[in-house]
Amino acid sequence: MRPLLAEIGDAKRVRTAGRPGSLAEQAFGRAWARLLEGEDAAPVALSETAAAVARARLAGIDAELLHTAGLSADEAQAVLRRAFDEVAGAVDGELAARLRAALPALRPAAPPPALAVALNAQPRAGATSPGKPRAVVEPPESHGDHCLTVAVYGCLLAPLVGADPVVPFLVGLAHHLHNVVLPDAGFAGEVLLGGALDRVIGTLEARELAGLPPALAGRLREVLLLRADAVAPESQAFHAADVLDRVLQVHHHARAAAFTASQALDELELVHAGPVQAFHLDVLAAAGL
């Protein structure tokens, strides 16, 4: 599943005109808006995870854009299914069928709630270690990027540990609520907070939960307890998703720093086959490129 997870994580770095934030941040805001509107968690988790899988190849092309471009609802679904099928081979078969059936159709988009806006604006610290300077990488991911990606990973990994895929999705979505207010100083900052760490996080998380509808807040309080260990299957799915996202993010920055023009030209065929490929190659040869 690792190659698929890496492609899904790239939605943190893809943007579209006319919509603020990365594709992951847009999905994060949409998922929270749907939950706050009272939608059940299961269709939110399944459809947003299905959309993330299709987005690995379609990027910002979704049902709404396809409808705007003149496709019918059935035609748009066919496009989404083709993208989903192209990359979903590693997903558990039963879950893949549920996700494929849940691929999002055209629906009015509600504006992201304030907590999602704040988490989309709150940068993550990246790799930090007590007593050492921070390793600053640009651009930093946001907490919205991370939380949406962990939620999707948790849903996809759930069958591997026998977990309900909806629960790790919810934990992933909500596990950084305290960072709505708390800037991220990473592990180094947590160590310096010392004995006050749990109280700081608990106080700020409780503040955010208190502002949610009672039913949703109660469900999130229940599932967030799963963060404490990796015993229950849902805990394992969440923690696996969390650590994979953190390390895949580091691998992304390492790859970006080592990327070469040769990779683009030779491995990725930047100058791809077509009626003017020969002319393009002549131009590059003349320019010494």
| 3-class DSSP string for 244-258 | HHHHHHHHHHHHHHH
| Residues 45-55, mean pLDDT to the nearest whole number | 97
Distance CA 117, CA 187 (A): 24
Q: Would you say residue 62 has pLDDT above 90?
A: yes
**Cβ of 249: how many Cβ atoms within 10 Å?**
22
- pLDDT tens-digit readout, 85-103: 999 999 999 999 999 999 9
- pTM confidence score: 0.90
Q: Would you say residue 63 has pLDDT above 80?
A: yes
- pLDDT tens-digit readout, 19-45: 999 999 999 999 999 999 999 999 999
C-alpha dist (Å) from residue 286 to 121, 136, 221, 254, 275: 45, 39, 64, 32, 19
| Residues 267-281, mean pLDDT to the nearest whole number | 88
Spatial CA neighbour of 10 closest among 68, 82, 63, 87? 87
- pLDDT tens-digit readout, 230-239: 999 999 999 9
- pLDDT tens-digit readout, 101-124: 999 876 767 899 999 999 999 999
User: What is the pLDDT, as a whole number, of residue 107?
Assistant: 72
Q: How confident is the model at residue 9 (pLDDT cuts 50, 70, 90)?
A: very high
User: What is the pLDDT, as a whole number, of residue 106?
Assistant: 66
**Residues composing the chain:** 289
Q: Would you say residue 202 has pLDDT above 80?
A: yes
Q: What dihedral do alpha carbons 82, 85, 86, 90 form, nearest 10°?
A: 170
